[in-house]
Structure 1
């Protein structure tokens, strides 16, 4: 693995564990046994490093999504597998990571969040159409509205004014939202499949 990749990997690990603000370039250098100067030879500053880490994370997430879609037999399997993967990810990331990203790096968070929003909307729209064709989702649902509602509910989960981190487990809120959402738009056949997969 190249030095640059090792820096990205270690920075991401530390950011996930401690949040972004408290992690220094020194901490990252020490973590992989290189000099701070080497870190700065690869990244001009911490902002560039944070941006690169986010870009790499998004690429990995996209690859994982494609893998889940290619090995799943139907849309409900795709959504429940994505839910389980999402819970695993949530449990491995400190809430400070997203807090710091939004508060101290809005110039990174905002455009990447908007880009992700478009991508996720398109993906959920496609999955809803697929689910209707498979007879798993009700054909009378308004696909455009339901896609937007789904994405907005995902955003709502990370809203600390509604779900404070000291009162709610992020993973529990995410799971409740996903299961209720999928069951709510499913046909009888779809609901039976959800119950079977969750049993």
Structure 2
């Protein structure tokens, strides 16, 4: 039952916002009593934490699969972008805003865990790109991997990038291109342009 509650709560939280969804809403959507939810989660904050960490773990596992199967780091980043966009396609921008505002401790814990899980993956991808001569050999991988992480979190900040002004896919696409153009070699640029062209065709 615990997994089912997390799954339904995730669906509601991401589409309606963490603050907007009540325990009554979840119970009603599942056709169970609120008492059943409280038997598994002592309060809403505990449920919010379980949901957010469950989402992170799933995304991390899928990214690990992409890391192992991608032909090169540029393809890898584009595949990750497509996966994340598809997985979070029903997420409202207000979901992250509400998590940060109303559950700040959970948000902070999530950001720390996200960095722990994702940072090494990004840095290893940069190192691989240098070895394949797709990325410039003089880049500081420790620095750039952190800048990339901060940027990916930053473009989801509704106070800066309002969803009324910026489409989520546009933000992801633009930031990824911005990041890669700063580090690619001439060889890498040719490959990057290929993926940009493919994406424009797919999104047309």
TM-score range, shorter chain: over 0.9
Are positions 1:139 and 2:134 aligned together? no
Contact 1:10 1:32 in 2 (8 A): yes
More off after superposition, 106-115 vs 140-149: 140-149
Contact 2:5 2:37 in 1 (8 A): yes
Does the residue aligned with 2:50 lie in a helix, a strand or coil? helix
More off after superposition, 96-105 vs 112-121: 112-121
Are positions 1:156 and 2:154 aligned together? yes
Deviation at 1:90, TM superposition (A): 4.1
Unpaired runs of at least 5, structure 2: 199-204
Cα distance between partner residues in 2 of 1:191 and 1:46: 48
Runs (4+) of structure 1 exceeding 3 A deviation are: none
Deviation at 1:101, TM superposition (A): 0.5
Does the residue aligned with 2:160 lie in a helix, a strand or coil? coil
Q: How many residues align?
A: 197
Deviation at 1:103, TM superposition (A): 0.5
Unpaired runs of at least 5, structure 1: none
**Aligned residue in 1 for 2:123:** 125
TM-score in terms of structure 1 length: 0.92
**Aligned residue in 1 for 2:180:** 182
Deviations 1:101-122 (A, max 9, x none): 1001011111221221233222
TM-score in terms of structure 2 length: 0.90
Deviations 1:30-70 (A, max 9, x none): 11211111111111111111111111111101110111112
Deviation at 1:155, TM superposition (A): 2.6
More off after superposition, 149-158 vs 99-108: 149-158
Cα RMSD, aligned residues only: 1.5
Structure 2 residue corresponding to 1:88, chosen from 86, 89, 92:
86
Cα distance between partner residues in 2 of 1:32 and 1:111: 28
